[in-house]
Structure 1
Amino acid sequence: MGISVIEKNAALREKIVPSRGFSLANLLKKADLFHRIVSKLSRTAPLRTGSVTVVIPALNEAGNLEKLFAQICIAFDELGVTFPVLVVDDGSTDESPEILAQLSEKYSFLTVVRHSQCRGVAAVWQTALSHVKTTWIFWGQADLESDPATDIPALLRAYRPGVVAISGWRQQRGDGKSQASHLANRACQHAFGLQIHDMNWIKLVRKDALEGLPIELITHRYLLAVLAGLGHPVVEVATPWHPRFSGVSKFGKKRLLTSGRDFLRVLVWFYLTRSVGQHLQSMGNLQPGLKKRLLKFGSSGIPVEPPTFSVEFRFFPVRDNR
């Protein structure tokens, strides 16, 4: 029996346009694959080459610098990428400038910016922001109490889509400053509603989240608290603490008093900003130019979402610096 015209046409259509390519199941599979690829890329966004700048503040840390960069290179080798590194020398009076000059010749990824005199950590942040061109900033330490070989990968791998800041949380701390830090952290928890254990430590932050914030007022101490209070998701990762490798700590009674003064200033600024922002939201007929100027005065806006918080526990052996 011969094949009918209808059967021939059906066979021809199937040959030209295979039905399996347009099946619902196939489309769903492709959509799922696309979602997984995008999700994977977004989870590893800070790991892409050039997307992070490692910023190191340094003040009279000559004895730590060579070992610091050896540890940074270990981190880069483990991650399989090399990020730019920016060292801001805040007016060192020891051999740090000479050592940094030698290191910048050795490592092409290193840039050094030097302040003519000590201006403080807030000024270091401002200098860093004016030089960093990447999406993310990793804020490290030159004293090797934070080991970049483990801490840089730990914070980068803790990234989740939507997160704007990742904080390190010192484990087994033994520098004698934990009580003062505990009091400061508790005050921030009550004031800003974020249960982070270690506000003033290493951190990975999106640069655009800092735009418009008065860094000279907030300073590095309360940066994460303010970001969380403004509704930005923050993640905390447990990281090992190590004894200072060389040199002396810059912490003292004067810094403790400065921290208390800064906390009160930030608190007043934050609640004033929130109050101004809430009024602006209700002033729909306000002229755009005036509203823009007022919003600029109010810095970066109002907390319109509850703070987001999560903790990822990771435990590492304590390095022996002896």
Structure 2
Amino acid sequence: MNVFRTLEEFPHPWSAETYPTVSVVLPVYNEVESLPALLESIADILIAHQIPYEIICVDDGSDDGSTQLLKQQAQTRTDLRAVILRRNYGQTAAMAAGFNHASGQIIITLDSDLQNDPADIPLLIAKLEEGYDLVSGWRQDRQDAAISRLLPSKAANWLIGRVTGVKLHDYGCSLKAYRAELVADMNLYGELHRFLPALAFIEGARITEIPVRHHARRFGQSKYGIDRTFRVLMDLFTIAFIKKFLTRPMHVFGLLGLAAIAGGVLLGLYLTILKFGMNESIGNRPLLFFVVVLLLAGVQMFSFGLLAELSMRTYHESQGRPIYRVREIVEPTLKP
């Protein structure tokens, strides 16, 4: 698919029958001052590069006038669709809503605070055309506070890369390009938007990154603080488990359960020898209570494994989701 087509093929403004090539998804939360300039910048860049597009703005419970502004813009623009959420659900939910309402073959995400540069969108698309499924932006010259933003981000990027196996310089950059079929395979929950490359990797995606520009915030204040580091760590445990054991949870729970049961049995045999072989009292030994705990924990972990296996099968079979992903099917050129 070549997105660089002529304006004669895709006249602007796009008609209702036109299938947009690029959907730009913007999660919005209290960015009323940034939105007008951002929308114009996106339109100018994509029209200049002759890329047919639509903009999906997802208002995530703003209370600063962003909602009213988006409603007004949607009534006067032909390229904008505003999705207004009932309350503030968080960036992950806003991005999921944007993905669900996008109709382009390529989906671009970026922040609404003007720190990401829309001029980098054609670069992401061009890189995607080289055969990648996801292209992530890398803010090499990041314009953020060193202590509260840069230092935790560097530590998180290193840790996420080690745990997930997807080594990117900048997991937190919202400026990314996705193939629509990849996004359709990913279900977002909690605050997993930070781990979209890792989730894509689980789906078998080809991932790369390119340097992008980053600007200092012009309006308002950042919605993120150092407290999000702890949320990232919790989400990282979830991603690590999904990556290794999504289709075989018994391998982790069952292994832990068998190890606990085996330890309990061995220590129990030792106590039995002490009791009947050496006529020693074991009733007041802490080791006896430890054996009971090990055996109970082992049985519980093994049971958790069985329940997780059933849940995994329900997850895949109820949605008709296979445990594999096919990139392409090559048919024989010679027919019998």
146, 167, 180: which one aligns with 2:152: 180
SS at match of 2:41: helix
The gaps in structure 1 that reach 5 residues or longer are 1-41, 279-289, 306-322
Q: Does 1:198 align with 2:170?
A: yes
2:126 matched to which residue of 1? 157
Give the partner amino acid of 1:262.
Answer: D
CA distance in 2, matches of 1:123, 1:300: 24
- Cα distance, 1:160 vs. partner? 3.1
1:121 equivalenced with 2:91 (yes/no): yes
CA drift of 1:145 comes to 0.5
**TM-score, with structure 1 as normaliser:** 0.70
Q: Provide the residue aligned with 1:25 in structure 2.
A: none
1:264 maps to amino acid? F
Q: CA separation in 2, counterparts of 1:46 and 1:210?
A: 22
What is the Cα-based RMSD across aligned positions, in Å? 3.0
> Given that residues 51 and 134 in structure 1 are in contact (C-alpha distance below 8 angstroms), is that contact kept between their aligned partners in structure 2?
yes
CA distance in 2, matches of 1:194, 1:47: 33
Residue in structure 2 matching 1:88, options 58, 72, 75: 58
The gaps in structure 2 that reach 5 residues or longer are: 11-19, 252-310, 328-336
Inter-partner Cα distance in structure 1 for 2:204 and 2:57: 30
Q: Offset at 1:171?
A: 2.1
Give the Cα–Cα distance (whole angstroms) in 1 for the partners of residues 240 and 5 of structure 2: 34
Matched residues, number: 252
* Partner SS state of residue 204, structure 1: strand
Which residue identity is paired with 1:95?
Answer: G
CA distance in 2, matches of 1:213, 1:304: 15
Larger RCO, structures 1/2 (Cα 8 Å, 6+ apart): 1
Whether the aligned pair in 1 keeps the contact of 2:22 and 2:53 (CA below 8 Å) is yes
Selected match of 1:233 from 184, 206, 211: 206
- Aligned partner of residue 253 in structure 1, secondary structure: coil
TM-score (normalizing by structure 2): 0.67
CA shift in 2, pair 1:245/1:267, >3 Å: same
The equivalences for 1:1-322 within 5 A come to 42=1, 44-45=2-3, 50-148=20-118, 150-176=119-145, 177-201=149-173, 202-217=175-190, 219-273=192-246, 275=248, 293=314, 295-296=316-317, 301=323
Aligned residues of 2:22 and 2:51 also touching (Cα < 8 A): no
Q: Is the 8 A contact 1:194 1:229 kept in 2?
A: no
Q: Give the letter aligned to residue 51 of structure 1.
A: T
